[in-house]
Amino acid sequence: MQSSERDILAPKFCPHCAGQLAPKVIDERERLVCQECDFIFYINPKVSAGALIEDEGRVVLVRRGIEPHVGSWTLPAGFTEYGETIEETAIRECREETGLEVELDDLLGVYSVNSDFYGHLVLVLYSAHVVGGELAAGDDASEAGLFAPAELPTDMAFQAHRQALGDWRKTIEESVR
């Protein structure tokens, strides 16, 4: 665990007894351990989900209206809420960011991401298709649009989204051969 991760993401006090947490090597990794009750505080990655929504050979993208990467394009995606399934997250994020109701098709990919802004996270992306709603920017998006493979913007916010779009483009190119 890097010191910046420990400072930003980890608490200083135990959630069980309010004792002081201190670094200790356990299972060959530095972890935070309560000095009073020996509770081990695991710093786990944030989990997020989203979808690559395809509509008539084009993909739905949203322009970010908030940091990080305000003004850049992204697939509709966001963090999973406690008690929410990954699938529910993907569907909710699509509705909130694009105004579209979607049905998930297949698991597209799982990406491990190390973000300067959010820390370590895991992104689960699905392929999806539209079943209702109207395309419109919402929630933390300033714009929403449909893009053909040859029209994809170059200013994508996140590497995992660039990778997923590259994979999507290859699949389309292979299907026309």
Which residues are tagged catalytic?
A: 143
Are 35 and 26 within 8 A, CB to CB? no
End-to-end CA distance of the chain: 47
Question: Which is nearest to 73 in space by CA: 86, 63, 85?
Answer: 63
Percent helix, strand and coil across the chain, each to the nearest 5: 25, 45, 35
How many helices (H) and strands (E) in the chain?
3, 10
Contact (CB, 8 A) for 144 and 130: no
Write b or e for each residue in 103-131: b if 16 or more Cβ atoms lie within 10 A of its Cβ, otherwise e: ebeeebeebebebeeebebbbbbbbbebe
